[in-house]
Structure 1
């Protein structure tokens, strides 16, 4: 997987990875990560940061929604 297919996650639960695959819609689209009985939502922060020499878009945690049963 190349850096252009990854985003940096900022905020949210501590047990989420720092790097996550870019959603199919591409940069700027929200990222929704399933976690236990909920989803963690991240939105593009309109900035990029360098990690291991690769520039990646930053996504900040915005809210959590719970999965209806």
Structure 2
């Protein structure tokens, strides 16, 4: 099985997809997702989950920041 380029998102806004592309920084690096006029911040939860036979890192939502104008 080849390494995945996807992560599982846990928590945060309900309208974000559960599966998200892994940023170029690689696993364990925080993820910042632009959404409306803000960024949703996720951090590696130090665990993995299997989804459709693939082991994916779990990232949990930690906070939101707003984009300055």
Report the TM-score when normalising by structure 1. 0.95
Structure 2 stretches lacking a partner, 5+ long: none
Report the TM-score when normalising by structure 2. 0.95
Structure 1 stretches lacking a partner, 5+ long: none
Going by fraction, where is helix more abundant, 1 or 2?
1
Distance 2:60 2:23 in 1: 14
In the TM superposition, structure 1's runs of 4+ consecutive aligned residues that sit over 3 Å from their partners are: none
Between the two proteins, the alignment pairs up a number of residues equal to 68
Compute the displacement of 1:3 (Å). Answer: 6.1
